[in-house]
Amino acid sequence: MMGQAMVESMQGKSPADRYSVMTSVKHFAAYGAVEGGKEYNTVDMSPQRLFNDYMPPYKAGLDAGSGAVMVALNSLNGTPATSDSWLLKDVLRDQWGFKGITVSDHGAIKELIKHGVASDPEDAVRVALKSGINMSMSDEYYSKYLPGLVKSGKVTMAELDDATRHVLNVKYDMGLFNDPYSHLGPKDSDPQDTNAESRLHRKEAREVARESLVLLKNRLDTLPLKKIRHYRGGGRAGGQQARHDGQLVRGRGGRPVGDRPDRHQRSAGR
């Protein structure tokens, strides 16, 4: 009942609503029953106790509409949850009909090597994806190793498409394709120090931006600049002048472009 109430209160009628969030049921499964109370440890449990005592809260949260499942770090009866296709496919997808996204716990995919079910990081990615992990949390394993695994045929395009489909469906349900900034909230609800210099590091950010400007293609021999006295500015930067330090200003003695308390502006001149 508590899990159901939390999901419904946080997601509201739709996770796409401005004041709603998508919930995640975790840690799947039996994370609270590890041997000796040791975090990330093994769970040794009969199916009867698992389904009677530990699975109902997960199921209630999912039935209430939770869109995500974070998979546990522990092993369940000898199999790491991150590589347990019975848990993630047979039970979660086929029996319960879950349509949302599954995500690994923090660093859980590389932990498959320590569990002894994967030989190296690439093999850990193969095992995790094939077992039903749609998204890798807090590492670059999927983006780094999946292209090679697909190319070698160790992971099929159908398997990759299935995982990708779940990720995109969640983004769609959250309304991120219509408005990727919808959950940022209105400006007047920001804390008073949101635009504080100490938080935004504007001075440092502006300096880095200045020093990182690069001419990608020297068309028409733009550089080096010829020794002429006057330049004409056009486009969005028209009417702006460059000071000796390279900073654009509006008019004579004007305020530097981008010196607004709530945002930066990027300007370019021709």
Q: HSE-up of 234 (CA within 13 Å, CB side)?
A: 2
**Measured torsion, CA atoms of residues 176, 182, 183, 188, in degrees rounded to the nearest 10:** 170
Task: Point out the residues that are catalytic.
Answer: 105
CA-wise closest residue to 72 among 25, 3, 141: 25
Determine the average pLDDT of the residues in 180-186. 69
Convert the pLDDT of each residue in 82-115 to its tens digit. 999 999 999 999 999 999 999 999 999 999 999 9
Query: pLDDT tens-digit profile of 151-170?
Result: 999 999 999 999 999 999 99
Token digits of residue 144: 């780094």
Q: Where are the beta strands (DSSP E) in 141-267?
A: 240-242, 248-250
Q: Which CATH class is domain 2-183?
A: alpha beta
Q: Would the pTM of this model clear 0.95, i.e. be above it?
A: no
Average pLDDT, the chain: 84
End-to-end CA distance of the chain: 63
Q: Break the chain into its structural domains and give their ranges.
A: 2-183
What mean pLDDT comes out for the span 251-264? 47
Task: Answer yes or no: is pLDDT of 261 > 80.
Answer: no
Which class for 63: exposed (0-12), middle (13-18), buried (19 or more C-beta within 10 A)?
middle
Identify the helix (H) or strand (E) that includes residue 167. Answer: helix 157-173
Q: What are the helix and strand counts (H, E) for the chain? A: 10, 8
